[in-house]
Structure 1
């Protein structure tokens, strides 16, 4: 039943087209146009190549107008474009004298009525192989046939994303006859370039040009030449969208990584910050990987992500090491002499690292301590002298107790000093690595953004 309805619908459409042609011809020249149509197609066949001499090639002039870029699928490497295809040739059996038909210069009839060249897109990537639309052809009195047809084409395009998102692509559209060789149909350029006058601007791609080149290829299977015309579509990506949505967030997140060295070690958030930044960059890396083809060429923004993630991993590892230095307990060994001289003196002054109450102009001054007869004295004061010979300070047991307390106090002060020195070493190392990583992030960002210029 459905098949019968389909056949009936085709008959109605055919009748509608015939009626439209008939009514269009009726008018001042309607009778002559109807007579011309009958005379032209009385003994005409659209199955054979319309030439009087079969040994001569039929020239077909091809002209392509790019109307719109619908989609550029980088992952599947397919370009979808809206084209206007114009083909012009001379049909030796469709000419007439204008005077015999009341001066009719041209007629427009459905393209299925006449012979058409089988020019197709060689690098077609459409699954359904949909061709051009069935439109009318314009036939002139000298036999010239002009066929304009719109077509939505899907062509394969080799995509190079090495400099994504600042990349440019070259997509080729190759048109040629599918069955006729160069001795039967010769394809000529209508223009040296594709027509871009009616091009609708694309929000993602900028068209730099569309040069056309005629090629004559002899394949290994056949000795005859096969001409074709290749249009090279030169595209440049508009990178603003990717700069604001993928690149700038990554740059801002990258500048958070060195700030992890500035956090106090006792806060307990130094490692957490590095891990959080690393996870955020991993999400952006996955977003880029989903839209890129799985090729060996890593895009520029992907290289930037990998370099930044490597840097953040290194900073997190260094943070763990510095925290271990910061939390050295009282039982730790003293700071080596070279570390005291190089880190605690020179590098601390260079990176403005001072203790609490210590400034760049003054440092902590330790009071002078002297020990006289087992007694400690501060500030250079003279020791007290017992007024009597029976001073209790000279009692043996009491003297030993005081000496024990003094030794414990001295050991405690020494342990606190060692701990404080190790904490200062860790703080100086934090500042050193913070500025090193700030410089690295800055230069990496300058290099990646410099590609946009």
Structure 2
């Protein structure tokens, strides 16, 4: 019961207490600002400088515009100074030691952001100030600032930026206001993490600069915001697609030349990389510093252009016709022998262990033990010449033989020769001594038919030589394709390792 009575008494006395505090606050307000002016610097000695302590808290990085080189940040700015005309004895006002009033009522230092890039020049928010009984004034105000920042995109997307925020008085020099930094670094305890930028630190430094316009020193406090870009987004959206596309360029050499798609593949890859380069160029400032990823794109596009040009050159070699010159000896030895083995280029039926099979020689026909065998036609002609036959065929006879070889062969056989033993013509009443030998001599006597056979044999030899020459040029083109494929694969690999090494 006693406890309840005490609580009820306290509740009855509480409104009176609060009412007394309010009355003393109004009385203090009237006493302080009766003869106060916020237009003059509140110091007793005008020759002495007023100390203003500055503290900046970084709350959030709103935007980083690399193209326009503007940093947009949300800051909490705290300014503390002493006003010589806003002091009171707290015992005279029922122990009231602090009051909160609008900041427009008191004198405020004109501290601004020197490198402000806002087109509207909006300053800090009009918040209240906290005044202590000893004259200390603390002004906390949030501000959204747009500051100019020199952006260096040489190592984009693995770059880091240093943006400076310089605060100083606009009209008061160092002999009137001295700016001090409360801490050696900006406050990052309430910082909201940014998805693109990582804050490494925010050191603060006081500078005293004498400008060309004035002889007085002007102090300022510069906060250097050290940022590092989070490169994961750009790696997966700009870099890896470029790497994968660039690996398609060497595969154009592996594509068969008869497919007709070698040049089309190179042109398609080149157009794809051009699109990615335009995406990077739109977000980067038009400066002389080319970004790292831009250099990678240019190097890859140059490589693909060179591969397309080499593909056109190799296809010209591949499609050499029968009228082409033979492959030079050095090319046969160096390309067709050594390089083809190094790059595992073999023809059908050829392997690295077994060399190319030699061309089969035409079988010879001989008569041994009553068995008929084939004989080389050149040997037959040689035997015919040794037998004393004269070559009396003229050009007209050769032409006549070409036209009538199929129709008059049998009749010519009958008219042209007799067997050596005086028997009948070939094919008519063969004697035992005639046999195969008589047929060979009958063939030798038909000179027109032999000329036709020799003409067809020469045409066949020329055709085989042209096919061999064309096949050699095709193999040279294939070896060069395989060589350039590995060369460009190595180039793409090293360029990719170099660009990825920057991320580490």
CA distance in 2, matches of 1:67, 1:393: 110
Q: CA RMSD in A?
A: 1.7
1:218 matched to 2:268: no
Structure 1 unmatched ranges of 5 or more: 1-24, 374-380
CA distance in 2, matches of 1:367, 1:218: 95
User: 2:364, 2:374 within 8 Å by CA — same for their partners in 1?
Assistant: no
1:333 maps to what in 2?
Answer: 325
CA distance in 2, matches of 1:49, 1:408: 114
1:60 matched to 2:52: yes
1:110 maps to what in 2?
Answer: 102
> Offset at 1:362?
1.7
1:451 matched to 2:443: no
User: 2:83, 2:136 within 8 Å by CA — same for their partners in 1?
Assistant: yes
2:388 maps to what in 1?
Answer: none
Deviations 1:223-248 (A, max 9, x none): 11100000001111111111111000
User: 2:363, 2:374 within 8 Å by CA — same for their partners in 1?
Assistant: no
Which residues in structure 2 correspond to 1:289-368 (within 5 Å)? 289-368=281-360
Q: 1:131 aligns with which of 115, 118, 123?
A: 123
> Per the alignment, do residues 367 and 314 of structure 1 end up closer, same or farther by CA in structure 2, a change over 3 Å counting?
closer
Partner SS state of residue 503, structure 2: coil
1:387 maps to what in 2?
Answer: 436
1:239 maps to what in 2?
Answer: 231
> Offset at 1:382?
5.6
1:426 maps to what in 2?
Answer: 477
1:369 matched to 2:361: yes
CA distance in 1, matches of 2:47, 2:297: 63
Runs of 4+ in 1 over 6 A off after TM superposition: none
User: 2:157, 2:231 within 8 Å by CA — same for their partners in 1?
Assistant: yes
> Offset at 1:372?
7.5
1:86 maps to what in 2?
Answer: 78
Normalised TM-score (structure 2): 0.82
1:10 maps to what in 2?
Answer: none
Which residues in structure 2 correspond to 1:7-156 (within 5 Å)? 27-156=19-148
> Offset at 1:205?
0.6
Normalised TM-score (structure 1): 0.91
Partner SS state of residue 176, structure 1: strand
CA distance in 1, matches of 2:345, 2:359: 23
CA distance in 2, matches of 1:323, 1:335: 16
CA distance in 2, matches of 1:393, 1:320: 53
> Offset at 1:387?
1.3
CA distance in 1, matches of 2:18, 2:245: 74
Partner SS state of residue 27, structure 1: helix
CA distance in 2, matches of 1:156, 1:334: 69
Aligned residues: 423
> Offset at 1:363?
3.2
Partner SS state of residue 191, structure 1: coil
CA distance in 1, matches of 2:310, 2:359: 37
CA distance in 2, matches of 1:47, 1:170: 37
CA distance in 2, matches of 1:390, 1:236: 98
Deviations 1:402-453 (A, max 9, x none): 1111111111000000111000000000000000000000000000100011
1:276 maps to what in 2?
Answer: 268
1:410 maps to what in 2?
Answer: 461
Q: 1:195 aligns with which of 181, 187, 192?
A: 187
Partner SS state of residue 261, structure 1: helix
Q: 1:229 aligns with which of 221, 227, 233?
A: 221
> Offset at 1:401?
0.8
Deviations 1:250-278 (A, max 9, x none): 00000000000000000000000000000
CA distance in 2, matches of 1:366, 1:406: 20
Structure 2 unmatched ranges of 5 or more: 1-16, 366-372, 381-434
> Offset at 1:167?
0.6
2:390 maps to what in 1?
Answer: none
1:169 maps to what in 2?
Answer: 161
Deviations 1:13-43 (A, max 9, x none): xxxxxxxxxxxx9634111011111111111
